[in-house]
Structure 1
Amino acid sequence: MTVTVSAPLRQLPAPSADYLLDAPLPQLLAEFDVLLVDSRITDAGFAGGAIRRRDGGLLFSMRPGQPAWERDAVARAMLGRELGVPMPPLPAPYQLAEV
């Protein structure tokens, strides 16, 4: 399963990986100006994608109906990539890819 993200985003000092893994996801999304929306893509092989908005924030487009644990793990991994924070790898079969 591939997750698509853009090149790393560095606007503020990067938080630690521990912070990105432990803080409540809604708090992280608000703090880093991330809008999480359901994608029109319903294929089970699509876990999510990250896009930089023109206003400098991020948009995470994620498959509707995906398990909560998957959405949480993938969102945190994409945020880490966007902020340039080294994160532990996602479990197989997930992987981040830049396009």
Structure 2
Amino acid sequence: MTVALPLSPDHLLDAPLDDLLAETGAEIVDSQIPDRDFFGAVVRSKNGHLLLAMPTGRSELEHDTVARYLLAQVFDVDLPKLPAPFVTTEL
């Protein structure tokens, strides 16, 4: 299934995460970054595939929230900024 763009905030926040990942062509992979202040990153491969690099050992709520927020950043979905200590940087 492909995602209908633009991706709405309601769909981004309400769809089951597995469905959202399938729709957007994204995959969650374990990150090897040990920094406690690292919450996740998006890597777009040369073929356009999205990888969400997420640290292991975090709560399900944090994992779900950060994955959705990273997808919102990639697909330019208008969501409120996350509170500190969450900061996003685009490289």
Q: TM-score, normalised by structure 2?
A: 0.89
Q: Of the candidates 38, 43, 48, which is equivalent to residue 35 of structure 2?
A: 43
Runs of 5+ unmatched residues, structure 1: 1-10
Q: Distance in 2 between matches of 1:57 and 1:88?
A: 26
Runs of 5+ unmatched residues, structure 2: none
Q: TM-score, normalised by structure 1?
A: 0.82
How large is the RMSD of aligned CA atoms in angstroms?
1.5
1:3-22 residue pairs with structure 2 within 5 A? 13-22=5-14
Structure 1 residue 12: Cα displacement: 5.7
Q: Distance in 2 between matches of 1:84 and 1:35?
A: 18
Counterpart position of 2:47: 55
Q: Which structure is higher in strand share? A: 1
Structure 1 residue 42: Cα displacement: 2.0
Which 4+ runs in 1 deviate beyond 3 A? none
What one-letter code is carried by the residue in structure 2 that aligns with 1:46? F
1:56-95 residue pairs with structure 2 within 5 A? 56-95=48-87
Q: Identity of paired residues, percent?
A: 43
